[in-house]
Amino acid sequence: MNLREVDEESFDDDPMAYVHLDLEGSESDTRRRAASDLVRGLVEHFAQQVTEIFGRYIQSFLEGYAKDFKQNWKAKDTALYLITSLCAKGVHQQSGIISLNEFVPLVDLFNGHILTDLQAPVDGAIHPIVKVDCIKFVMIFRTQLPNIKDLIPVLISHLGSTSPAVYTYASICIEKVLTTRVEEKFL
């Protein structure tokens, strides 16, 4: 699930291709997507055991990131990709996640590891790929996070990023949050 050098190069050299490939869905056959599908398949049959095993890896990645977030940003990227793979049991394009792995403390992970990076200065403080990962997390889990509307100003601030991928993800996320309906009501 680690980010490959070619993915980093794509992020820097052709950010729109990176965004398209990342958000495209199952039509895209990447190594990361295959690993994610494997984890989702394991969760489907052995949710508690798989969550405990991968939870230790996630914890290790997040601890590495906390020790030196400038050098270990790839650890956070891997952790967030793994969290998404563990959590998302059912995904709907219009409303995001429709079924969650009940063994993952999603809101605690958001409050402890996503929100602070989103609230950090838009450019320079956090690696742009980690910013994109955090924005994507909000986009995917928008119906599961409390007070999602309170994040709109934070997301709007990311529209001013110098990174095309960051401001593209921010704009897509804002659109998804504003147009998501839950029980015939907008979020």
Please report, for residues 1, 87, 121, the alpha-carbon distance to residue 71 in angstroms, rounded to integers and kept in the order given: 18, 27, 18
Residue 157 · residue 137 · CB < 8 Å:
no
Q: Measured between alpha carbons, how far is 28 from 64 in angstroms, rounded to an integer?
A: 30
- DSSP structural state of residue 124: S
5-186, what's its fold? Leucine-rich Repeat Variant (1.25.10)
Stated as kind and residue range, the H or E segment containing 100 is strand 96-100
Residue 147 · residue 177 · CB < 8 Å:
no
The average pLDDT across 61-90 equals: 91
pLDDT in tens, 10-47: 899 999 988 988 887 545 567 888 888 889 889 889 98
Residue 91 pLDDT:
57
Residue 26 pLDDT:
46
pLDDT in tens, 28-38: 567 888 888 88
pLDDT in tens, 150-180: 999 999 999 999 999 999 999 999 999 998 8
- The residue among 92 and 40 whose pLDDT is bigger is 40
**Coil/strand/helix, residue 43:** helix
Q: Measured between alpha carbons, how far is 158 from 162 in angstroms, rounded to an integer?
A: 9
Q: What percent of the chain shows pLDDT beyond 70?
A: 88
Q: How many helices (H) and strands (E) does the chain have?
A: 9, 4
> What mean pLDDT is reported for the chain?
87
In sequence order, what are the residues at sequence separation of 6 or more whose Cβ sits closer than 8 angstroms to the Cβ of residue 73? Answer: 65, 126, 127, 129, 130
- Model-level pTM? 0.88
